[in-house]
Every structure is written in structure tokens, then in C-alpha cells.
Structure 1
């Protein structure tokens, strides 16, 4: 039966979110379309909004639906996501938030491109991009299925409508719109689900949750699956760190210390926001569904268990209560979709388009590329949500690749960058990819190439994901050390340093040291002007900070001959693309002394 209250709920909620998104977009400084302003909200996100938007990093449609499903199918002990993602925020705050924010990076890929070069950074962009796109597609598909359960609405219509609204306000206001709508969405999730719980819990069809031997919503971990259990736990904790949706919040904070505080508070928020879906999953476990108005197969099949949260709202609560619950589900989905779309677009515009293909692109050009990318990513996610049946399987595979490929490389470049280079990065990438793919992926129908110890005929009980991550880390360090030793010892001539990251580095390009503790950017003094170099990618802006003009000290002189002008453009503004190492993009005398001579 068509749920009129649910339809009204959806319409009102979408109007509210769209209005807040447009209003938040107006907070963007008029006429300021810089990368920082659009991608990072001018690094000016306040404490209150920052807490909500950082919490929304993980609390979304997949989070609340997946938590309820895990409780119903496997029990609380197997519901690892809330605790794993909370710990990922804690460890992210301890080890990554401070150095990343202090360096003044713009995206998560910036330190990787600083150390390994633009092209290697582009290769590392692939698992990050796929993870964001598949995640957005998966939760849009879940929303369509949810609305078809609750209000009998065509799932294609709901997916397209939700995607259009999320893309529109993200396009309009960038991170400002995403952050401020996160506040409204988290309120809707928390209030909407808590309002439904008393009605569902005391429904006459629902048994007791405590002291009922027939209802086991706690679960247990068999001794044979302890390694498998730990593997997934580590995947959630450390694989939950190298995501642009997290670092977009970290890098938008006003200071490094505040970025850490937001991470810790958001970890508590993740646990708090998991309580309602945990209770809903337990209520569903205590419900004999064949005695309710539910007419589907019983016991529930895998397709039905994935929709356990909307089923509780539909069949165990009054219609006027499900009004609020449906708004909560929609809020959760949109808070995830808009973040993923913005994150993927930001990385493409800055780390692929600008640093690989158009190093001289203006900031306005980059912003327009990002806006076009938002549209493309939104359309791609929507099409995938409507056409691919195993979206979750694709996202699961990509999240594994983020863990085994990106985490060890990000860890090294943030804390031990002098012990890794481009050769190690490429070798580690290949090793991690091969080992992970060798384990197969049942959700995608990919068979296992290698049967690791504990293989039960269907899944790998051996922690091969963590093994892949550790092998990747060891390969990164080992190959980097070996190539450094073989070149510096003279056993291989400098000409064989094809990636130009060990000894075959142009003489007029020097490495930049660490930024001063007191600031977040490296500064190069020039006569009467200040040339800015962001810690990320060594990109020289070269603006006169008083009037925004291009710094004349960083332009070629009029009396240079054509050969000198060409050399200046090759090495004076940016180092040669594709090489490893952190190039300042400055003439040697500037890089060495920190200032030009008169």
C-alpha cells in the first residue's frame, strides 16, 4: 500500500536539505573561488559544524542499514563497523590529522604525489576514486530499495531524485554545503530512529530482548574464525583512515589541534549513532516476521535481511512514526552520497587534472573542472546504482584495496618519507594488488587463485588482507632502500634512474625541507613580494599577497633568450613532471638559500 505519510516525509526532508545546502553555499566568500574555499571551506569550519560533519564521515546509509543487518544476521560481536570506524578516527587523529593539517595539504593524495611524483600519485588515485564512487552508488541503490519497501515508490525515481538533490547543493556550495547539511542529516538520523524504537520494541509481535534463549542477538566468534574476525577488524580500523572524505574534514579545520579534537569527538559520535540501529537489529531478531503484515519469504533471505531496518519501520511502527524514520534513512544516505561525490571530484581536479595534465591551470579552471567532475561522478554513481546488482561487492573490493595499497604508502610518506621512493611505491602497489586479488571476492563471484591456510571451500579464513598490507609495507621499504643503495653506491649509473627520484635529479631542482613549526606553508622571500609554496605538491602560486598580482620575481625576465625562457618554464615554475621526489619548482639559488639575490 502506498504510504502517503512517507511520501510527504521524503518531500519535506528533501526541501529542507536543499534549502540548507543552498543557504550554506552562500557562506562562501563572495568572489573567492580558490581551491581552499571550495574544497575545504576556506579551512574555516567551526567546532560545532566540524563535529557533526566529521561524525558524518562514516555515519551514513550503509552504516545504519549495515549495523542493523549485522545484528540480525550475525549478532553484536560481528557488528564491527561502529567500533572499527570509531577506532579509525582515533588513530587518524593520533597519527595523521596533526601532520597532514600542519603541512597545509589540500587532498589526501598531496603527500603521496610530493614523495612519489605526479604520475604515481595518479595511479594511487584509482583505488581511492573507485572506493568513493562505488560507495556513493551502493548507498543510492540502498535508498531506492528502502523507499520501495516503505512507500512503494519506484526505486529508479527515488535514486535519481536523491542523486540530483545531493549533486545540486554540492555543486552550489562545495564543502560548505556538505558540512552544514551534515548537521541537519545527523539530527534527523538520531531523532528519527530513536522515535521509532519504543513503538517497535513494544509492538505486540516482538518478543523480549533480554533473558530470551530463543533470541540470540549477541552472537559468538567460533575459534576457527578468530583470524578472519581480526582481519576484518584491522581492515576497518586502518583501512578506514586513507579516505578523502575523512581528510577533507581534517584539512578544513582551522588548526591541526582542532583537527585532532574533531577526530576524537567524532569517534564517540560514531558509537553513539550506532545505538539506534543496534537496537533495531535486535528488535528484528526478536520478531516472528510471518506473524506480521510482512508477506515475503520467511526465514528471511539475504535480500530481505539487507532491508531489515526499513522493514522494522514499515511493519512494526505506526504510519505517522515511520514518517520520521524514513526521513532518518534518507538523511543517512544523502550525508554519505554528497561527501563521496565531493571527495572524488576534488582529488581528480587537483591531483590528476592539475598536477598531471595542466600544471599551469588557474584556480578558476580547477574549480570548473571540479564542478564538471561532481556532475560526472554523480551521474556515474546513479547509473551504477540502477544497473549493477553487486554494488556492495564492488565497494567491498575497493575498500580492501584502499587498506592494502593506500594505508602503508600514506603511513610512510607522512612519517617516514625519507625511507621510501617511487620505485618502492610502484612495487608495493603491484604486490598488494596481486595478493589481495589472489584471495578472490565471493560477492563478485571471483574465485580464489590461492587457497590460504583455513580455506573452507567458500571464503578465506586466513587474514590474507592484513598479510597483503604488511607485504606491501615491507616491499615499499625494501625496494626503496635497495634502489637507493644501488644508485648511490654507483652500481647503476644515474642514467638508469628512470623515475628521477634517487640520483638522476635535475641540478637546478632542490628538495624543500620541512616547513617551519610556526606555520603551515613554506615561504620563499623575494624582493618586495612573498611567493607561497603549499606543503602539498610543491605548487608555486607566486601571488603578491597585497594585491593578488602574479609575482614578477617569479616570472622570466624580458631579456632572456628563448632557450633560457624554455628552461625557466621547465624548471623555474615546476620541476619536470613524472619524476619522484619533492621538487620545489624553484631555481637552485632560491631553493638553497630561501631568498633571491638582488
Structure 2
């Protein structure tokens, strides 16, 4: 156990707990909207930081590193390309998302399609997001095993408790500010580790290129184009329809702030993704026998980086994963409060009772996430399942609700069911080990959405576009 690592860990955890306690004060947490949307008060830099830290968590620094270690840096660019393409599209829809101001994606569904679609959407969102939350527990546990003498199981339990506490305390206000600090810290630490490893361990970029496995010097690496597409699409679809992204954009001070924050989100993602690609692929040279999940994190243990840089990198990665887990726990609690418990009474959902129900649901979802993570072999496997479940079953309906006036409730409902069922069946069949389930699930969801919508008639609220829904104040 490295004393420097432990000191940095304790210091950062103390900072996060202090922020959570500050924003959890009764005077700062007045109602449900404060808990879920931070009172629509986030400034540009904080909003950009929370967008970045929410999307770039365990799935990037562990799942993404696993993919790059196994398939090469150029394939890694295509893997993360889905994130950047998604952010570009998000830039153009950000003002509309902010003006609509929905607390949850299913709330958007009800405004367009009616309550039954909202309830089904809530179930699908929870199934997917509990999976995303679950692999944050595992990722944080990995890092704690490197810093402390805890076993993997013990570390995962500690991580689950810490992530749950931060979510229970200050809601989105505390999560957004801890996200911002975590994002700054991870960018600085990854860049520092990158410079040190390439100059001192790999002998420069030229040496790195010469020593790289020849199989990794093509864009698809050892994968087929279909397999690459199976990794690209889940990230692209998730970021477009991700309830977390929509909630954060809705929590901006104004539509202009929402759009400007997406620009900074893109820049910040580039500053994180580039070092991850280079460090993870560098690990294939320095540590060819390492567990692929640890391709980046293992560089911080001391052999390849100074204790100071390694400590900050591990703690920053831990902070990023913890805040991502907190974000998904928090957004799930919003679904329980507004889409299930208080679906007929918005005022009670915004009351102190709504905050209590939200906190109780955070605890229940954390327990379910801890149970789910026991059934997947790696972070990357759980990541692809969760992303596909959301991206195929929810994102097509989200985009249709925002931009296609002809879509109907029957089409939306059928599409969600088709996307979810095909994802589960493909995973159960074992075929996802070769081709990710998004390849069959997404076309099925889109085809059903279009076909059923054209065969059925819009009525009531179906005829209105989401742009015509009055903005939330």
C-alpha cells in the first residue's frame, strides 16, 4: 500500500463529501427540481464538466482501455468516434432540450405519446441505467484494490457505499460540482501520465510506433467492419438519447449556456480520449500480459510513473467513475419519483416528500446494481449490453419524439419493445461475443418504429411536435 496514494485518496474523498454535505443542506435542497435539475442554475463551465464526467467514466478508462489494448489504437479511434459524433449532434439539439426542460426522457414520451409509453419507457431506462451504474461500482473497486489492501469484493462494496452516499446527499447540485472538479483533475493527470510514459518508458512516439503490434496498425485492428460498427453505434446512440445528457442540458441557466457547454464537452472529451488511446495501446508494449481492464490504471502503480503522478491519476480516475455512478443513480431516482411514484401529482414530486422518495430509490437502485454486476465477466461486456439496451430501445423514440411529427404512440411503444427484446435475446444466445447486439437490435427498433407509425394514426398529443410543448419554467 503506497502512502502517497492513500493520502491523495483521503484528501479527494474528503473534498467530495464536503461538497455533497454543503449542497445537501436544507436551504440548498428546497424541492425535487433542486434535487434532479439543480434548480436550472448550472453555468457553462460546470455544465460542461458534468457532461464530460458523466459520460467519460468507467466505460472509458476501463472498458475503452480494454478495447484498445485488445484491438489497437486506430480501432480505438473508431470506438470513441461514436462519442464525438454524438456530441456534434447534441450541440444542435441542445437549445431545444433546454427549452423543453423535461426532468426525464419518459416525461417527454408522455407529452408526445401519452402515459402508457411513458411507463414502458421508464422500465427500459431503468433496466439500462442500472447496468451502467453497476459497472461504475466494479471500475471504482478496481482502483481501490490498487490503492488499498482491500480485496476486489470488499473494494466494490466500499465504492458502492461511497457512490450511493454522494447521490443521497446533494442531488444534481453536488454531483455537478464534483463532476467539474473530477473532470479537471482527470484531464491534467492523464496528460501528465502520457508525457511521462512516452518520454521515459516508451522512448518517444517514434519508438512507440515501431514497437506496436503490426496487427494494430490498421483501422479495424483484428476486428471486422461489422464488429467495429457494433462498438461505434452504442456510444453514439447513448449520448444522443441519454437521459443524463438531457437532464444536464435542461439544468443549464439558458439555452445558450446549454449549447456553449457542448462545445467545451467536445474539447474535454478529446483531452481525455486521446491519452487513454495512447496509454492503453502503450501498455501492450510495456505490459503485454496485463488484464486488459487495467491497461491504463496499471501504469499508475509506480513502475512506470512517479508516485505523485500515479496517485493523482488513480484518484482522478476513481473520482471520475464515482461521479459517473452518482449521476446514473441520481437520474434513475428521477425516473422513480416523476415517472412511477408521483406520475399523477407533479407538485408532490417536487416537494420534500419527492426528495425523500428520490433518496430511497437511490438506495434501492444501488443494491440492484451491485447484484447485476456479479453476472458479467468484464466492464466492457456489461458496458456494451447497457449501452445497447438504451441506445436501441430508447434513442430512436427520443429522436422521433423531437423531430418526426408522423410518429405515433403505437410506433414508439412497439419500437422500444422490439429494441429491448432483440437486445436481450441476442445477449442470451451468446452471439454478442462476436457481434454486439446493437447490430440486429437497432435496425429492428427503427424498422418497427417507422412501419407501425405509418400503419397507425396519430391522435391527441401525438399530433404535436415536442417543439410545441410549452417550456418548463
Category of TM-score, reference length = shorter chain: 0.7 to 0.9
Name whichever structure is richer in helix by fraction.
2
| CA distance, structure 1, for counterparts of residue 137 and residue 222 of structure 2 | 37
Query: Among residues 80, 87, 90, which one is paired with 1:89 in the alignment?
Result: 87
2:430 counterpart of 1:447: yes
| CA distance, structure 1, for counterparts of residue 394 and residue 465 of structure 2 | 23
| CA distance, structure 2, for counterparts of residue 137 and residue 431 of structure 1 | 24
8 Å Cα contact 2:190/2:272 also seen in 1: no
Superposed displacement of residue 511, structure 1? 8.6
1:256 maps to: 255
Matches within 5 A, 1:213-232: 213-216=210-213, 218-221=217-220, 225-232=224-231
- CA change 1:412–1:199 in 2 (3 A) is closer
- Unaligned runs of 5+ residues in structure 1 are 290-298, 450-457, 485-500, 522-533, 536-598
Find the residue that maps to 1:240 and give its secondary structure: helix
Superposed displacement of residue 250, structure 1? 0.8
Superposed displacement of residue 22, structure 1? 2.1
| CA distance, structure 1, for counterparts of residue 375 and residue 220 of structure 2 | 36
Find the residue that maps to 2:157 and give its secondary structure: helix
- CA change 1:116–1:247 in 2 (3 A) is same
8 Å Cα contact 1:384/1:391 also seen in 2: no
Superposed displacement of residue 372, structure 1? 0.8
How well do the aligned residues superpose, as a CA RMSD in angstroms? 3.1
Matches within 5 A, 1:105-124: 105-124=102-121
Query: Among residues 40, 44, 47, which one is paired with 1:43 in the alignment?
Result: 40
| CA distance, structure 2, for counterparts of residue 245 and residue 54 of structure 1 | 8
1:468 maps to: 441
- CA change 1:447–1:55 in 2 (3 A) is closer
Whose RCO is larger (CA < 8 A, sep 6+)? 2
Tell me the matched-pair count.
467
| CA distance, structure 2, for counterparts of residue 224 and residue 141 of structure 1 | 26
Superposed displacement of residue 18, structure 1? 1.0
Normalising by the residue count of structure 1, what TM-score does the alignment of the two structures yield? 0.71
Cα displacement string for residues 192-215 of structure 1 (whole angstroms, at most 9, x for unaligned residues): 2333334433445x4554255332
Superposed displacement of residue 180, structure 1? 0.5
Superposed displacement of residue 466, structure 1? 4.6
- CA change 1:359–1:181 in 2 (3 A) is closer
| CA distance, structure 2, for counterparts of residue 57 and residue 149 of structure 1 | 23
1:430 maps to: 417
1:480 maps to: 453
8 Å Cα contact 1:21/1:178 also seen in 2: yes
Normalising by the residue count of structure 2, what TM-score does the alignment of the two structures yield? 0.88
Cα displacement string for residues 230-276 of structure 1 (whole angstroms, at most 9, x for unaligned residues): 34323322332111111111110122232122123212211112232
Superposed displacement of residue 419, structure 1? 1.4
2:243 maps to: 244
Q: Which has the larger radius of gyration?
A: 1
Find the residue that maps to 1:40 and give its secondary structure: helix
| CA distance, structure 2, for counterparts of residue 385 and residue 431 of structure 1 | 25
Matches within 5 A, 1:378-457: 378-385=366-373, 389-390=377-378, 392-416=380-404, 418-438=405-425, 440-441=426-427, 446-448=429-431
| CA distance, structure 2, for counterparts of residue 61 and residue 483 of structure 1 | 42
- CA change 1:162–1:234 in 2 (3 A) is closer
8 Å Cα contact 1:344/1:377 also seen in 2: yes
Matches within 5 A, 1:29-178: 30=28, 32-33=30-31, 35-79=32-76, 80-94=78-92, 96-178=93-175
